[in-house]
Structure 1
Amino acid sequence: MLGNLGLLAGLALLIFMALRGANIFIASLVCALVVAVTNGLLIPKTLLEFYPFGPLGAFTFAGKFFLLFLCGAIFGKAMATSQAAKSIALAITNSLGVKRTLLVGMLVCALLTYGGVVVFVVVFTMYPLGITLMREANLPKRLWAAATSVGAGTFTMTALPGTPSIHNVISASSLGTDLFAGGWIGIFAALIMVGLGMWYVERGWRLARANGEGFVENTQDKRMEQLIGDPADAPPWYLAMVPMIVVLGVIMLPRLLLAMGDWSGSDSLLARSLVFSQTQPIIWPSMALILGSLTCVVLFPSMRRKVGQVFGQGAEDSIMPLLNTAAVIGFGGVVTQTAGFGQFAQWILSADLPPLLSVFASASVVSAIVGSSSGGLQIFMQSLAPHYLEMGVQPEILHRIAAIASGGLDSLPHCGAVIATFMIMGLTHREAYKDMFVVTVAIPVVACLAAIALLMMLGMG
């Protein structure tokens, strides 16, 4: 009884400290100690094994995925510094106009994140541009936050096949699948997320206009708007797209070549490269991201003058997102050592549920506990996924359903991405979390359940 109360207390404290802006390293360590003490775990083992270096240890995760975070951050920095990301945003804005402000925000964020640009870079890039759009359209900031989150934090993150997102890579590296696993399921779920998400925010805008609610500027907006710079300095949009095309092309080309013919009997360099691309779900997308970064250097003169500085800043920018994710996984690594987690795992695995509904429930709950979709997915893959494979769930289907499920209940109020987005935009949970909850929690949950229902109707679940 005390152990279960300790688990709840540790989770409640983690949520409270996150909402109060506490450092995630301190918060995760304190909460891990609360869980350890109330569950009778040895403190030395907790601090020196379960939290840092166990199968779900913080630094076990950080070591495994360091290369991907590093290359992703460098690519994001290159796209931002060369102003390629801004050029794409401006081109879409000019094409669709102010009346389509919400669609502009969603499309730009979706395009950039699917192309490999890190979510936080996308938010920083889009918000200064969004201020002008919101002012002209008299759009409430809470709806801009929701629309950009639809693009950056839902379907491109977990559902669409081929993306070099950390969620796609975690599933592929854990299950031996590739980045395109369960692709048609992901596309089905993505269409639901986009359709319902945009319907909700557009409806919200109509209601806001009817109620006289509009854009309210604050001092932070003026500072952020200064980051836009001169639009004339940005490269042409068609050149700005090339680095992202390179990233996606490197990832997708091996898949296309393998689909076009049988390479198993060949020992050529191309055949070995194709095999390598399919067996290295961390290294291959990392190589694609670095090639995208080098493409920025070749195409944009501003990059060539400071390539060392930009790559160095990108490397530095990768550390905090990596360690923040690792910290919540370290907390989860302690939680998984408790009897309460074992009882939960046993209960969910033995519950009279179809296997895919069980996958949805377990991945969702774990992601909710740590407030991180990538952290929750990694914990799920290490602790529960093998049992579902034993039940007969196909690895490709497990890959996609677990990834989509992890992107639902992760976005509770203590989610780091939610907190960071509100901080950048100068919003509070009271002002904006209702809309954020609908588009990043409720709608992804509906999309995942709809995908599972479709698979069950087809006899695949």
Structure 2
Amino acid sequence: MREVRTVGLLGILLALALLMGLSYRGWSVLLVAPAAAMLAAALSGEPLLAHWTQTFMGGASRFVAQWFPLFLLGGLFGKLMDDSGSIASIARFLTGRLGTRRAMLSVVIASTVVTYGGVSVFVAFFVLVPMAQELFRAADIPRRLMPATICLGAFTYTMSALPGSPSINNAIPMPYFGTTPFAAPGLGIIAAIVTLAFGMWWLNRAEAAARRAGEGFGGGSAAAPALDERIREHATATGDFDPAEIRLGGQSEGGPPTVLAILPLVVVIVMNFLMSLVVLLRLDFSYLAGEAWGGTSIGALAGIWSVALALAAGSLTLVLLNSRRLESLRVSMDSGANSSVLPVMTVGSLVGFGAVVAALPAFGAVRDAVLSIQGGPLISLTVSMNTLAAMTGSASGGMAIALDALGETYMRLAGEQGIAPSLLHRVSTISAGTLDALPHNGTVLTVLQVSRLTHRESYFDMIMTVKVSTILALVVVLILGSAFGSF
């Protein structure tokens, strides 16, 4: 029995290595994930076809069925924001007000505003990179700092810490813990402040060091190239927008006035708040307990419904305000909808891989090892999220795998030890967004390619603003959450 379990553990490790290695080389996760899952099942002596069609597809289909509405509406909203010129208008307004003296802060704030309002980071990159280039050239700041600056605002606290964020990463824990996007708002705001403060400190320090060394903007162009297929595969495993759709449709040259550009973002945030914390809680959804609706409850669905309604309201607002600017409305809406398909299927495949691994006999040893980590459920949850996000190179994929396998266990432990589900939610989202930004991460690769920079030039500063800053924020949240609970 011990030998069988040892071989099974070896199979899980080999499957993870295969998944990481081939994904890093740009192989499609749609192919790699089931192949890796079958390898793990084969080495465990488990039936392959049954695990593929029943376990793998069962896990993948559950994820797609649950999250496709948010991927769909998120892709639609982001594409309409881009094609209407709204993102460009907001970025121009903020950078114009703050000017070249605060060039990096301008880019961080612009990145924060559009992504917290619901725009995918992959859509935002294609607008923010050229604008950052103009500001950095005018301020004579090294262009190698552009990716770290953009990602600080777009790829950290707006993704995982700020309460109410409509990002898929902030949404995934909701059905497992019965929470809303506004879980642990105080802790989330503190985490965002820590991340922003450290990130800006590092960027200012790097700028000062460059000026002392006589380093200026440098040459090169940040014009966005066509993304190759390998980068596309990386991007769709980590985000909610297929970059191949970004060039379809037609972007408005002028863009709306700033107030009209920001209004859809405000609609998303306000609608999300009202649906999550006011409206849905006051309605009778007792019928959801019936077999026809899967025997669920409004607690498990309120967060998903709130984000979906918010993104739908934001998209409708965009169409109404920009009917003349959206010259190819059908093409824009079609490409926005199409942009969601490959990402949701890719992340779903990662979840299917996790479902097979969790069903193997040897996984019991992995589960026991994770749960036995000293420090209690919060530390154990942190380690599992960081590990899986790092291995998959995807915050959403790693989080979904971990919660699909251990979500019920963590809820049981939390109930036994008096830990609020909202605290589990916030720790999960921040933890998954720390070590996911490894060199093979799709977001990292995309922003570097769009910026026409290399890992050697820019990745170290990205480590400091994306990874070190969020790790510090996570430590603060763990300390405060352990001492005072969720708030």
> For 1:248, which of 269, 281, 291 is the aligned residue?
269
2:448 paired with 1:422: yes
2:31 aligned residue: 26
Q: Confirm or deny: 8 A CA contact 2:85 2:251 kept in the other structure.
A: no
2:97 aligned residue: 95
Q: How does 1:125-274 map to 2 (within 5 A)?
A: 125-218=127-220, 221=223, 233-254=254-275, 257=278
Question: What CA distance in whole angstroms lies between the structure 2 residues aligned with 1:375 and 1:121?
Answer: 20
Q: Confirm or deny: 8 A CA contact 1:171 1:177 kept in the other structure.
A: yes
1:111 aligned residue: 113
Q: Confirm or deny: 8 A CA contact 1:73 1:118 kept in the other structure.
A: yes
2:336 paired with 1:314: yes
1:50 aligned residue: 55
2:357 paired with 1:352: no
1:334 aligned residue: 356
2:466 paired with 1:444: no
Report the Cα offset of residue 407 of structure 1. Answer: 0.9
Question: Which amino acid in the other structure matches residue 385 of structure 2?
Answer: A
> For 1:69, which of 65, 71, 75 is the aligned residue?
71
Q: Confirm or deny: 8 A CA contact 2:177 2:411 kept in the other structure.
A: no
Question: What CA distance in whole angstroms lies between the structure 1 residues aligned with 2:56 and 2:261?
Answer: 42
**Change over 3 Å in CA distance of 1:323–1:255 after alignment to 2:** closer
Report the Cα offset of residue 209 of structure 1. Answer: 2.6
Report the Cα offset of residue 254 of structure 1. Answer: 4.1
Q: Confirm or deny: 8 A CA contact 1:422 1:428 kept in the other structure.
A: yes
TM-score, with length taken from structure 1: 0.88
Question: What CA distance in whole angstroms lies between the structure 2 residues aligned with 1:73 and 1:252?
Answer: 21
Question: Which amino acid in the other structure matches residue 215 of structure 1?
Answer: F
Q: Deviations over 1:90-112 (max 9, x none)?
A: 00010111232221221111111
Question: What CA distance in whole angstroms lies between the structure 1 residues aligned with 2:275 and 2:408?
Answer: 28
Q: Confirm or deny: 8 A CA contact 1:116 1:247 kept in the other structure.
A: yes
Question: What CA distance in whole angstroms lies between the structure 1 residues aligned with 2:48 and 2:299?
Answer: 42
**Sequence identity (%):** 34
1:401 aligned residue: 427
SS at structure 2 position matched to 1:164: coil
1:458 aligned residue: 484
**Change over 3 Å in CA distance of 1:331–1:428 after alignment to 2:** farther
Report the Cα offset of residue 233 of structure 1. Answer: 1.0
Report the Cα offset of residue 327 of structure 1. Answer: 2.8
Q: Deviations over 1:361-415 (max 9, x none)?
A: 1222222222211112212222212222222222111111111111112222222
Question: Which amino acid in the other structure matches residue 265 of structure 2?
Answer: M
Report the Cα offset of residue 16 of structure 1. Answer: 3.0
SS at structure 2 position matched to 1:382: helix
1:270 aligned residue: none
Question: Which amino acid in the other structure matches residue 432 of structure 2?
Answer: S
Q: Confirm or deny: 8 A CA contact 1:84 1:240 kept in the other structure.
A: yes
Report the Cα offset of residue 4 of structure 1. Answer: 3.2
Question: What CA distance in whole angstroms lies between the structure 2 residues aligned with 1:174 and 1:400?
Answer: 13
**Change over 3 Å in CA distance of 1:287–1:405 after alignment to 2:** same
Report the Cα offset of residue 342 of structure 1. Answer: 2.6
Report the Cα offset of residue 257 of structure 1. Answer: 4.5
Q: Confirm or deny: 8 A CA contact 1:78 1:303 kept in the other structure.
A: no
**Change over 3 Å in CA distance of 1:51–1:235 after alignment to 2:** same
Question: What CA distance in whole angstroms lies between the structure 2 residues aligned with 1:9 and 1:210?
Answer: 48
Q: Confirm or deny: 8 A CA contact 1:19 1:419 kept in the other structure.
A: no
Q: Confirm or deny: 8 A CA contact 1:298 1:304 kept in the other structure.
A: no
Question: Which amino acid in the other structure matches residue 87 of structure 1?
Answer: S
Q: Confirm or deny: 8 A CA contact 1:83 1:234 kept in the other structure.
A: yes
Question: Which amino acid in the other structure matches residue 426 of structure 2?
Answer: R
- Mean CA deviation greater in 235-244 or 429-438: 429-438
- Unaligned segments of structure 1, at least 5 residues: 268-274
Question: What CA distance in whole angstroms lies between the structure 2 residues aligned with 1:50 and 1:328?
Answer: 12
Q: Report the aligned-residue RMSD.
A: 2.9
Q: Confirm or deny: 8 A CA contact 1:82 1:302 kept in the other structure.
A: no
Report the Cα offset of residue 305 of structure 1. Answer: 4.1
2:437 aligned residue: 411
**Change over 3 Å in CA distance of 1:104–1:323 after alignment to 2:** farther
Question: Which amino acid in the other structure matches residue 238 of structure 1?
Answer: V
1:383 aligned residue: 405
Q: Deviations over 1:44-95 (max 9, x none)?
A: 1343233322xxx223212211111110111111110000110000000101
Question: Which amino acid in the other structure matches residue 239 of structure 1?
Answer: L
1:11 aligned residue: 16
Q: Confirm or deny: 8 A CA contact 2:22 2:32 kept in the other structure.
A: yes
2:315 aligned residue: 293
Report the Cα offset of residue 149 of structure 1. Answer: 1.0
SS at structure 1 position matched to 2:343: helix
- Mean CA deviation greater in 1-10 or 349-358: 1-10
**Change over 3 Å in CA distance of 1:277–1:388 after alignment to 2:** closer
Q: Deviations over 1:235-279 (max 9, x none)?
A: 1111111111111111112456479xx9589x9xxxxxxx97994
Q: Confirm or deny: 8 A CA contact 1:297 1:303 kept in the other structure.
A: no
Question: Which amino acid in the other structure matches residue 245 of structure 1?
Answer: V
**Change over 3 Å in CA distance of 1:278–1:299 after alignment to 2:** farther
**Change over 3 Å in CA distance of 1:288–1:399 after alignment to 2:** same
Q: Deviations over 1:277-333 (max 9, x none)?
A: 994322331121121111111112334543222111110111222223223223323
SS at structure 2 position matched to 1:40: coil
Question: Which amino acid in the other structure matches residue 375 of structure 1?
Answer: G
**Change over 3 Å in CA distance of 1:194–1:290 after alignment to 2:** same
Question: Which amino acid in the other structure matches residue 301 of structure 1?
Answer: S
2:130 paired with 1:124: no
Q: Confirm or deny: 8 A CA contact 1:143 1:435 kept in the other structure.
A: yes
Q: Confirm or deny: 8 A CA contact 2:420 2:485 kept in the other structure.
A: no
